[in-house]
């Protein structure tokens, strides 16, 4: 039986790759770098994003479209913000 909250969260796309509810403040792992995110970005930014795959990141918030905002620093200390669908995330305990 699916709880009411899990149903609502699934309708808002607030569930990760495994069907777990994710909320702002959760630690998540980016399971892959979506092509739609990478297309059109400079190579340097693409590499910085791809380097985050498999790493623990903090989920800052969701935008109006249900995308999760993640923040990270690249090797040079540059700050990056990316927005991805929660289906590309795995919540960490």
Which pTM value belongs to this model?
0.83
Write the CATH number for 32: 2.30.30
Give the pLDDT score at 93.
86
Domain count, the chain: 1
**Which of the residues in the chain have pLDDT under 70?**
1-13
Angstrom distance (rounded) from CA 35 to CA 58: 21
Angstrom distance (rounded) from CA 82 to CA 59: 10
Give the pLDDT score at 10.
46
In the sheet with 79-84, reading across from the earlier edge strand, the strands are 79-84, 68-73, 56-62, 27-30, 89-91
**Domain that includes residue 59, residue range:** 4-91
Nearest to residue 69, comparing CAs of 37, 35, 93?
37
Give the pLDDT score at 15.
94
Give the pLDDT score at 4.
54
């Amino acid at each position: 039986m699916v709880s009411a909250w899990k149903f609502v969260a699934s309708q808002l796309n607030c569930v990760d790759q495994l069907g777990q509810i994710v909320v702002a403040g959760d630690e998540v792992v980016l399971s892959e770098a979506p092509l739609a995110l990478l297309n059109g970005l400079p190579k340097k930014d693409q590499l910085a994003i791809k380097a985050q795959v498999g790493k623990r990141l903090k989920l800052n918030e969701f935008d109006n479209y249900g995308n999760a905002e993640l923040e990270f620093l690249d090797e040079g200390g540059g700050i990056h913000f990316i927005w991805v669908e929660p289906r590309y995330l795995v919540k960490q305990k």
